[in-house]
Amino acid sequence: MYVNLETSNILICDDSITNVAMLKGLLEASGFEDVTAISDSRKVMPLLQEKEYDLLLLDLEMPHFNGFDIIRMVRSQIDDPFFPILMLTGTQGVETRNKALKEGANDFVNKPFDQYEVLLRVKNLLQVRASFNMQKEMKEELERKVTLRTKNLEAAAQDLIDKLAMAGEYRDNQTGLHVKRVSKYARFVAEEYGLPDEVCDMIEKAAPMHDIGKIGISDDILLKPGLLDTDERAMMKKHVELGAILLENHSSLLVQMGRSVAVSHHEKWDGTGYPTGLKGEQIPIEGRIVGLVDVFDALTSKRPYKDAWAWAEAVNYIQENSGTEFDPKLVDIFLGNINKVEDIYNQYREEAQA
């Protein structure tokens, strides 16, 4: 169920009465009907515990409790991992903003406020929350109805994966051919690695979930035509954790595999990846496989921020990063079957790249 943005419940906290009045007036003039504005940071948690809010606009520098204090309290006491926090920052530098993102803020807007930017970021966070709530409700409804762990459960899980993957690709401005290629690449690498047929099948079906967390990343980052700055990269990396949250606690082995892929496909063989810095065989095999083939497909595909690499350049990159970014055994399998890779690429090639 989608949230009506104009009737969303919004809480503003800033010790500046001027800022509070300006933000409240701006939101109400834009059609938001339920806006609560306070200047005392001690009232934030009692209000959040009394009523369900859809968004918190929070100043960073305040007496009593500062923004960092409140973020930590919200994330530890409010049982809603998708509750969005929009930080209101002044002259603080990149390090401070990165700390806010790390503590659990979702986005930030700089003072003095640009009214258009404030509205854009507020609406974007509310839309993301609506999307997460919709997926949560779909998942809960599915779990209530499915009582038998049979083929029907796996069929429903696969359908969920397909729909979520489609939603992720739509947000990322790509066609479904990207996930199709990644799935097919992952399947043949798993087979050549010697994994059992049923595991190969699960990896192929779970591979489309690798970037599902991008549903929670704002369009201005996903579709940015240039390179991301430090703050934007920090936001983008959150897609791994969001994907893990979205797929957690599901009884289906297939969805569990999808969660494993989502959370581990950016780990690197030498331990320099994210989110947890796993190294070598600490990284699940499904994450190692999808991580390799996803990078290769990204290199050979056109994206908003780059043109497609030449085939030879992409092959050289994979070879040069064997043993650092990628599992060397998987690299040997992948490059040792480069004709099969090319067959899959040509079969599911983007029309614009043909």
Catalytic residues: 214
Phi and psi dihedrals of 10, rounded to 5? Answer: -120, 135
CB 315 within 8 A of CB 335: yes
Q: Are 173 and 224 in contact (CB under 8 A)?
A: no
107 DSSP β-pair partners: 86
d(CA 303, CA 175): 11
Cβ atoms of 94 and 233 closer than 8 Å: no
For residue 68 the two structure tokens come to: 């960092």
Number of C-beta neighbours around residue 218 at 10 A? 21
Angle between helices 338-347 and 177-193 (to 10 degrees): 150
Nearest to 14 by CA among 35, 28, 29: 35
Query: 35 φ, ψ to 5°?
Result: -120, 120
Q: Please return the burial class of 352, using the count of CB atoms within 10 Å of its CB with bins 0-12, 13-18 and 19+.
A: exposed
Beta strands in the chain (DSSP E): 9-13, 34-38, 55-59, 85-89, 107-110
Positive or negative torsion for Cα 352, 294, 338, 206: negative
Nearest CA to 172 among 208, 136, 201?
Answer: 208
